Structures are given as structure tokens and as C-alpha cells.
Amino acid sequence: MTTVSLSSTTPFEGALRDAGLRVTAPRLAVLEVLTSSPHSDTETVIALVRERLGAVSPQAVYNVLAALVEAGLVRRIEPAFSPALYEVRVGDNHHHVVCRRCLVTVDVDCVVGRRPCLTPSDAHGFGVDEAEVTFWGLCPDCQQRKEVKP
């Protein structure tokens, strides 16, 4: 598993510099938010960044997320029926399990542990280097509730 390093005085400074990105308060705040709240959607990230920094525009957060994804410091996942989610666990080809009712998302380690952990029956000439699997079901909390989501 690859996770962004927390070793510098301010979390993530070294990782940002190593990726060729300037160290800014919004970038640091987004990385901190995603460390404490993995699998957050953009609206959640915006709200949590505002709690840390005060006024910050939604566009600034969108731009930071895009830059961090492009730099490989953040992973964007897009489960069906859910907005895009972001996490700092990158580079290990892990998968996810998603609750059909409340959409809570949890990491699932790769079955084999090397990339890709699944091999297609016919790759059609592609050089496959990653597999993305989403498992679906009901989380423990939703299993305890009797009502069914329409």
C-alpha cells in the first residue's frame, strides 16, 4: 500500500514538493481531509477544508483535487450511483466495497497483491496494468435496519 508520507513538519509538504507541486494551504488541507475522511465526495471535501481554512472557493478545491489526482497523490474512484470519491491511498491497486443503501465505501485489499490482481480472459491487445473492482452489498449498519431503500 502506498500512502502519502506524513514525515515532514507540515503533513504532506515533502510529497507535494516531490510531485512538483507548490505547497499551499488548500493543498495541505485537502490532503489532511482525505487522510481523516477517506472516500469523501467533493462537497464533503469543500466543507471540511472550509472548517480548516475558512473561506475557500469550491473551484479552488476542485482545482486542488484535479492537481493531486494528476500528480498521483490522490485517487479518484467513481462507484455507480455515487458522486466521485477521493482518497489518499494510491498505487496499490486496492478495491472497494460499497453499501447499496447508504453508499458507505470501504477499502478491500487486492486478492493477489500484485498489479493487476485480476487477469482478463482476453485483453484485446491492451497492456493491462490495473484492475478496478467494486463489490456491492449492505454495510453492517444497514443490515441491522429493517426498512428497504426503494
- The pLDDT tens digits of the residues spanning 40-98 come to 999 999 999 999 999 999 999 999 999 999 999 999 999 988 899 999 999 887 889 99
In a domain, 22, yes or no: yes
Those residues with Cβ within 8 angstroms of residue 11's Cβ, 6 or more apart along the chain or in another chain = 28, 31, 32, 35
**84 within a domain of the structure (yes/no):** no
For residues 107 and 49, membership in a common domain is answered with no
Q: What range defines the domain where residue 55 resides?
A: 2-77
For residues 53 and 106, give the distance between their C-alpha atoms in angstroms, rounded to a whole number.
27
Nearest Cα neighbor of 15 from 1, 33, 28 is: 28
Residue 25 backbone dihedrals phi, psi, to 5 degrees: -60, -45
Q: Give the pLDDT score at 49.
A: 98
Nearest by Cα to 37 from 101, 84, 88, 74 = 88
Q: What is the CATH number of the domain that holds 127?
A: 3.30.1490.190
Residue 70 lies in a domain: yes
What pLDDT score was predicted for residue 111? 64
State the CATH number of the domain containing residue 19.
1.10.10.10
The answer to whether residue 85 is domain-embedded is no
Q: Are 30 and 45 contacting, i.e. CB atoms less than 8 angstroms apart?
A: yes
Q: What are phi and psi of 74, to 5 degrees?
A: -135, 145
Domain assignment present for residue 150? The answer is no
Question: pTM of the predicted model, to two decimals?
Answer: 0.82
Angle at 36 between CA 31 and CA 39, to 5 degrees: 80
Query: pLDDT-based confidence at 115, cuts 50/70/90?
Result: low
Query: Domain tally for the chain?
Result: 2
Same domain, 57 and 108: no
Q: Helices (H), strands (E): how many in the chain?
A: 5, 8
Looking at the fold, whether 97 and 137 belong to one and the same domain comes out as: yes
Assigned C-alpha cell, 146: 429493517
Strand order of the sheet with strand 105-108? 105-108, 95-99, 134-137
According to the model, what pLDDT value does residue 11 have?
A: 64
